[in-house]
Amino acid sequence: MPEFRILKKDRNTRARAGILKTAHGVIHTPAFVPVATKGALRGISFENANKFGGDIFMVNTFHFYVDGKYKLVKKFGGLHEFLNIGYPLMTDSGGFQVFSLGFGLEHGVGKISNMFPGENRPGQHPKDNPALKKKNLVKITEEGAEFKYYKNGKKLFLDAETSIKTQKQLGADIIFAFDECTSPLSDYEYTKMSIDRTHRWAVRSLKEFEKGPKTDQGMMGIIQGGEFKDLREKAVEFVSSLPFFGFGIGGPLGQSKKDMHKILDWTLPILPESKPKHLLGIGDVDDIFNGVERGIDTFDCVNPTRLARHGTALTHGGRISLKSGRYVNSKEPVDKKCGCRICQNYSRAYVSSLLRDWEIYGVMLLVEHNLFYMLNLMREIRQAIKDGKFGELRRKYLK
């Protein structure tokens, strides 16, 4: 079982710097966990990401489950052997992908229903836009989730036992209990029914986890409950009574980022302080600050790599789109204040030129920059907490 230790707490917020020890090495927290969905980071090697401070990586159980690739990984001895890396790994439970294929499609939403800053702009909020809504491919019962695999139409079934068995075979250092990720549009009644079921799944997950020989893995329980205060509190009460190594805060996280902060404010203070907390699938720069100051220790998110694929750079001056025509003549680096290899060596004009020509190397350069940016941000946050300057750093980044 991994160990977690808090090294330093911020005076004014719940932010804390800590250390998470796993069989494959140490993670300095707060940490950003780059996502290697199908066993690879999109556009960069694990080795390089690790050099920039990537201590741990997230692989998605769902993708290894649906096409049976977990059996192949098992033959290799686990993900570490299959990917041939020695770094700590996380796997999620598959619950989020089940949501994506289910309510995600039916409601046309993600983990937060309305990501537009103006909120409820007509035609853009999924509630007002039937075109965003598709067929729900999932049927969830007490037993688990039955769904159609979009690639081949095959019917598959995922439940607590299968998820945990698979995650044990994958062998990541930190794994998650199987949960239902409800929709930000699910109502109180559905969410209430769902968390009770998720809690029974949590018990089944733990039971499956404890079967057989002891492993070095640590399992986190997941706190659900949508945007309903009493349900989130109920979830915390129940899940934290179980012997989980740590806790994941699961989506849905409301209608907007403000709701997400509310949900974190409801749950984090009543979770056991000494245990590590993970915010699932969230990781914009502002989210990181808002999560850390509420006591989140680790974040996984596809943002740095996904944004890069779409030509968007994270910079100290905010996001910029290098695919737009705006930077085609710029001799400046992608981000003047960044110390990465890309910003030390290349102009916005060159990176922009490659991206606008759909050159794979343009994506590689921007992935390297974006990932460096996020991992460097986490390093600065850890240092700031240690130096008692977290608030100062927050103001610097979120002007």
83 binds a copy of itself (CB under 8 A): yes
For a copy of itself, the binding residue among 44, 89, 253, 282 (CB under 8 A) is: 44
Active site residue 297: no
Residue listed under structure tokens 């977690």: 4
Q: Which helix (H) or strand (E) holds 22?
A: strand 16-22
Stretch that binds a copy of itself, among 129-137, 189-197, 202-210, 350-358 (CB under 8 A): 350-358
311 binds a copy of itself (CB under 8 A): no
- As given in the structure block, the two tokens for residue 304 are 């740095």
124 binds a copy of itself (CB under 8 A): no
Minimum CB distance to a copy of itself, residue 92 (Å): 17
84 binds a copy of itself (CB under 8 A): yes
Residue of 55, 179, 259, 300 marked active site: 300
Minimum CB distance to a copy of itself, residue 32 (Å): 19
> Closest Cα partner for 93 from 34, 180, 153?
180
Query: Phi, psi (5° rounding) for residue 145?
Result: -120, 125
Active site residue 387: no
Residues comprising the chain, all counted:
399
Stretch that binds a copy of itself, among 80-88, 107-115, 265-273, 282-290 (CB under 8 A): 80-88
For a copy of itself, the binding residue among 5, 7, 51, 76 (CB under 8 A) is: 76
152 binds a copy of itself (CB under 8 A): no
193 binds a copy of itself (CB under 8 A): no
> Closest Cα partner for 250 from 371, 69, 93?
93
Helix boundaries (H) for 160-228: 160-170, 188-210
42 binds a copy of itself (CB under 8 A): yes
**Residue with Cβ nearer a copy of itself (124 or 347):** 347
263 binds a copy of itself (CB under 8 A): no
Minimum CB distance to a copy of itself, residue 69 (Å): 7
Handedness of CA 77, 78, 84, 85 (dihedral sign): negative
Residue of 92, 179, 287, 297 marked active site: 92
270 binds a copy of itself (CB under 8 A): no
Minimum CB distance to a copy of itself, residue 57 (Å): 12
Distances in Å between the Cα of 268 and the Cα atoms of 5, 105, 245, 287, 312 are 17, 29, 15, 15, 32
**Are 174 and 88 within 8 A, CB to CB?**
yes
Q: What is the dihedral of CA 310, 312, 314, 317, to 10 degrees?
A: -170
> Which residues, 353 to 382, sit near a copy of itself by CB under 8 A?
353-354, 357, 359-364
26 binds a copy of itself (CB under 8 A): no
Q: For the residues of 231-288, what is the DSSP string, one character each?
A: HHHHHHHHHTTS--SEEEEPSP--SSHHHHHHHHHHHGGGS-TTS-EEETT---HHHH
Q: How far apart are CA 148 and CA 137, in angstroms?
A: 6
Ranges of beta strands (E only) in 102-206 are 138-140, 145-148, 155-158, 174-176
> Closest Cα partner for 41 from 89, 2, 99?
89
Minimum CB distance to a copy of itself, residue 42 (Å): 5
Q: For the residues of 42-55, what is the DSSP string, one character each?
A: TTS-HHHHHHTT--
For a copy of itself, the binding residue among 7, 11, 40, 155 (CB under 8 A) is: 40
- As given in the structure block, the two tokens for residue 372 are 């460096």
Q: How far apart are CA 256 and CA 112, in angstroms?
A: 6
45 binds a copy of itself (CB under 8 A): yes
For a copy of itself, the binding residue among 38, 211, 319, 326 (CB under 8 A) is: 38
Stretch that binds a copy of itself, among 220-228, 286-294, 346-354, 388-396 (CB under 8 A): 346-354
139 binds a copy of itself (CB under 8 A): no
Minimum CB distance to a copy of itself, residue 259 (Å): 34
328 binds a copy of itself (CB under 8 A): yes
For a copy of itself, the binding residue among 75, 154, 336, 396 (CB under 8 A) is: 75
Catalytic site positions: 92, 300
Where along the sequence are the contacts to a copy of itself (CB under 8 A)? 38-45, 63, 69, 72, 75-76, 82-84, 309, 328-329, 331, 345-347, 349-350, 353-354, 357, 359-364
